[in-house]
């Protein structure tokens, strides 16, 4: 069996649309329950299907930390129609991953997430045209400077795509931030990071420096600039909409705890 982190990286490398299609090609279980709801249990809130508690793929109890998040997860189950489609249930999937995998290998997942700061999208700047460079400086630089002040170091800015290593002390400081998180929040942060390509934007979202919409726009700054120049591709728009639903689910997890 492959290591969990290797699997995590493989999944992150896939386009979210591809992951959704893979899930949809599997034989989906039929909806077997009439009602999904949440209720308080020992140690948290559980999801019940006609009174039977939902369990994770590893047969652990799907236990949520508060009523708000549990209600949202229950709503995902209640929204399923004839079949139960995991691709349409991002809150459930993130929660399952947190319980089955992240909680068991917290340090490994945190180490993996900290590596994203070493190749953070905000550090890779365009050398032209001027309008794109200005937009990156306006929307990315303040966030990067905030992270530098918080982490006590300076990120290397890079023009183009040639990799340049970031200071180890900076990456260690970022890694230290993650030890304060629960497994569920770490899973949510990992989702935000892989969708935006930026560990710095994810950290800014976690600490409320920017709104979710501002984080999303910053992550898609170059894509939006290209759309302004050449127009939007329909398939790319569909993929982006799917990514946004995944992002919103992770945001709800980060904000609800």
Per-residue pLDDT tens digits for 203-256: 999 999 999 999 999 999 999 999 999 999 999 999 999 999 999 999 999 998
Q: Please report, for the chain, the start and end positions of each structural domain, with discontinuous segments joined by +.
A: 29-84, 106-256
The answer to whether the Cα torsion of 234, 238, 241, 247 is positive or negative is: negative
Pairwise CA distance, residues 116 & 31, whole Å: 38
Tell me whether strands 63-64 and 124-125 are parallel, antiparallel or unpaired.
unpaired
156 upstream amide cis, omega within 30 of 0 = no
Which 3 state secondary structure label does DSSP give 33?
Answer: coil
Residue 27 banded pLDDT, cuts 50, 70, 90: confident
The answer to whether the Cα torsion of 94, 95, 100, 102 is positive or negative is: positive
CA-atom Rg of the chain in angstroms: 19
Whether CATH 1.10.3580.10 fits 106-256: yes
**SS3 labels along 37-75:** EEEEECCEEEEEECCEECECCCCCECEECCHHHHHHHHH
Pairwise CA distance, residues 73 & 55, whole Å: 13
Q: State pTM to two decimals.
A: 0.89
29-84: CATH topology: ATP12-like (3.30.2180)
């Amino acid at each position: 069996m492959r290591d969990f982190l290797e699997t995590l990286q493989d999944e992150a490398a896939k386009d979210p649309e591809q992951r959704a299609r893979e899930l949809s090609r599997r034989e989906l279980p039929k909806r077997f329950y009439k009602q999904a709801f949440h209720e308080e249990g020992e140690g948290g809130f559980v999801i019940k299907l006609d009174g039977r508690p939902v369990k994770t793929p590893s047969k652990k109890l799907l236990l949520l930390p508060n009523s708000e998040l549990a209600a949202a997860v229950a709503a995902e189950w209640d929204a399923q129609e004839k079949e139960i489609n995991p691709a349409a249930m991002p809150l459930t999937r993130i929660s399952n991953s947190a319980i089955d995998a992240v909680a068991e290998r917290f340090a490994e997942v945190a180490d993996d997430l900290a590596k994203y700061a070493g190749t953070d999208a905000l550090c890779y700047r365009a050398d032209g045209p001027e309008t794109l460079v200005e937009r990156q400086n306006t929307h990315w630089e303040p966030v990067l400077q905030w992270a530098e002040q918080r982490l006590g170091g300076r990120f290397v800015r890079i023009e183009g795509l040639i990799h340049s290593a970031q200071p180890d002390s900076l990456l260690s400081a970022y890694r230290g931030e993650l030890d304060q998180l629960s497994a569920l929040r770490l899973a949510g942060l990992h989702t935000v990071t892989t969708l935006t390509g930026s560990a710095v934007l994810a950290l800014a979202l976690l600490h409320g420096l920017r709104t979710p919409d501002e984080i999303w726009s910053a992550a898609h700054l170059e894509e939006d600039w290209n759309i302004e120049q050449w127009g939007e591709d329909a398939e790319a728009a569909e993929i982006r909409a799917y990514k946004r639903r995944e992002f919103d689910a992770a945001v709800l997890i980060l904000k609800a705890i």
